[in-house]
Every structure is written in C-alpha cells, then in structure tokens.
Amino acid sequence: MAVRPTEKQLVAEAPAALASLLDVAQKDVKVEAGSDADLLLSAAGHAFVVQVLGAASPGALAAHASHVAAAARRQGRKGVPLLVVPFMSDAGRRVCKDAGIPWFDLSGNAHIVAPGVRIIVDGRPNRFRGPGRPASIFAPKSARVVRWLLENEGRALTQREIARATGMTDGFVSRIVSRLEHESYVLREPGGALRVKDPALLLDAWRDEYRFDKHVRLQGHVAARSGDALARFVGDTLAEGSVEYAATGLAAAWQMTHFAAFRIATIFLAESPSRELREKLGFREDARGANLWLMLPNDAGVFHGAETRDGLRCVHPVQAYVDLKAHPERATEAAERLRSELLSWRHDG
C-alpha cells in the first residue's frame, strides 16, 4: 500500500489528478504558485484555487474552508475553491458540504460542483491506509481526552486537569492536546487553558472513527417483557453484586430522552461476568434472538461521566451517542433525538 503523502507530494500530484477528473491532458492544466493558497490551476475555462492538507481532519478542513473560499473570491467570478487531501473521510465530506467547498482526494474520489463543472466520484478506497499511519487521536485511550473535553464543553481546562480527570500522564495528554490543536479542534487561551473550538465537529469526527466492534460483546437472551424492564433488571442485579456497569446504546438513550422503545439492552461491564452472575441474570448466551449485549470495553474511559438516571446507571450522553452508531432497531432516530436534546451545541466557528 502507498504511504501517507506529504503536503509537498500532494501539491506535486494535484495537477495531474485534476486533469484526470476534468478529462483533459495534463499539459492543458496551467499551474501557478498561489500567493494565499498552495496552487492556482487553470483548466477547462476555470481557475481553481487549491489548498492541500496532509490529512482530512474535519477540524483542519473546517479551518481551511473559509480561507480557500476567500482566496477564490479574490480571483474573481471564475475562481473555484478546491481542497485536496489523500483520502476524504465521511466526516470530512460533511464539513465540505456544509461549507460549500469542492474537493478531491488522491484516492480518486471527488465532489466538484461549480458553475459549468460537475464532477462527483465516490466509492474509491483509501489508497493510503496501511502500516506507519500515526495513531489516531480517537483511539480508545486517546479518546479519553476527547470525551472529557466534550463532557465539559464550555469550560476552559488545563492539561493537568485533563490528565488527572482521565487518569493519564501529563506527557500523554500533552501529545494528544498538541494533535487536537494542530487539527484545529481546540483553542488555547492566553493563560494556557484549552477550550473546544467546535464541539459538534469534534463529536462528528470521533463518531466517524469510532469502532464499537472493538469492544468484546457477549450476546444472549434474558426473559423480560420489554427492553426497559430488561435494562432495569440487569442494572439492579449488577448493583446488588457491586459490579461496575453503565448502560449505553438504546437503553441509555431511552433513559435520557424517553424516545424509541427498544428490545436490545446494551450494558458495559468493568469485568467479565462470572457464572454466578450469569445465572442470576438468567443469561443464555446465544447471538440469535439476543436481547442483551454485555460489553467488555477496550478502555475504561467509557465509564467517565456515567451517572444514574431514573435508577439506571448510564454512560455520558456523548458516549451513548457514538455507541448508537453500531446499534440496530431505531438507533439512528434515537441518536438524532439524543443529539438534539442533550448535545445541540452552538457552533462558535
């Protein structure tokens, strides 16, 4: 597989990639160095004002969108802003769509819609996924920082406060915070404290990379008249046995919004359920017809911010929201309701 390209390589390869998308010869693409953008590419009667990014971080895309749009306006009526990345993620596509900025990636995908040009190419795989990729800021342990920032949105937090709250070293938090700053997800105040720049964008970016299937899932059936009754029974049984737990997914969303009745209850457990506990629950392990998912998380951070809601301990709304991505039934609608009621942050730009 190809290695991740540098921004210099992106600049060098962009003209040929654009020529291919426009179905013109590369010699017919006029290339100029931009004064307030990386490249000015003229082809097929259009002047493309190009900004390249080494990675399609939604935060960085949002930060560069207004810049490249302004640069294109300065080119006059024919100026078309264009963002170029190695591979455009789903979250990155949403950012570009919201900002109205055309883009293409070096993996072959594109969405360039402007007066006189309409190029949409989708479904090409990421050419640059492979060994040597930098660890994601949304990896399980790193996501503790992201989760804590979102849970405390609106507050200015120091790196030391974040480290103490998440149980990680100052050095580790410093590295993650530096990445978050570089990708334009957080702002640093004059005194050094950090604040989330756009909580909704950060949540979207985390959800885009989140992998619920990386947790260990035990699927089984427990007799119950409804999903809510099942979740409460399981919660009570775990509490009696002093087992740390937190409901997530549809069960948590129901407790938070009372929207979308459900059948499958999902519970994070801090430890593997013993035989005695399974017997108390009447848990019969069987993926077919399962109505209870007992989850062993890949990082204890899922319990951060958990609280009891109407008698059932639930994860924080931001954790429930990302977990709903991988749930069946009316999970999509439940996630939308949860977000609109509890996570509808104002965009600060």
| In a shared domain, residues 30 and 105 | yes
Whole-number pLDDT of residue 236: 97
Q: Which of 38-42, 261-265, 275-279, 308-312 has the lowest mean pLDDT?
A: 38-42
Q: Is residue 15 part of a domain?
A: yes
Percent of the chain scoring above 70 in pLDDT: 95
State the total domains in the chain: 3
Q: Is residue 174 part of a domain?
A: yes
> Can you read off the two tokens belonging to residue 257?
């919004």
- Identify the helix (H) or strand (E) that includes residue 119: strand 117-121
* Calpha distance 292→91 (Å, rounded): 30
Count the neighbouring beta carbons within 10 Å of the beta carbon of residue 53: 20
Residue 168 in contact with residue 282, Cβ under 8 Å? no
Domain final residue pick, 209, 224, 258: 209
Q: Is residue 136 part of a domain?
A: no
Q: Is residue 130 part of a domain?
A: no
* Calpha distance 279→285 (Å, rounded): 11
Whole-number pLDDT of residue 127: 87
Residue 264 in contact with residue 327, Cβ under 8 Å? yes
Q: Is residue 347 part of a domain?
A: no
* Calpha distance 166→62 (Å, rounded): 28
| In a shared domain, residues 321 and 269 | yes
CATH number for the domain including 147? 1.10.10.10
Q: Is residue 290 part of a domain?
A: yes
Q: Is residue 71 part of a domain?
A: yes
- Output the average pLDDT for the chain: 91
| In a shared domain, residues 329 and 218 | yes
CA 35 from chain center: how many Å?
33
| In a shared domain, residues 257 and 186 | no
| In a shared domain, residues 225 and 281 | yes
**Residue from 110, 82, 87, 111 nearest 3 by CA:** 87
Residues 6+ apart with CB under 8 A from 153: 196, 199, 345
| In a shared domain, residues 318 and 242 | yes
Domain final residue pick, 121, 153, 178: 121
Average pLDDT on 221-229 reads 96
Whole-number pLDDT of residue 349: 39
Domain assignment of residue 217, given as a range: 212-335
Q: Is residue 114 part of a domain?
A: yes
The pLDDT tens digits of the residues spanning 244-303 come to 999 999 999 999 999 989 999 999 999 999 999 999 999 999 988 899 999 999 999 999
Question: In the predicted model, is pLDDT for residue 133 greater than 70?
Answer: no
CATH number for the domain including 253? 3.30.460
Domain final residue pick, 60, 89, 121: 121
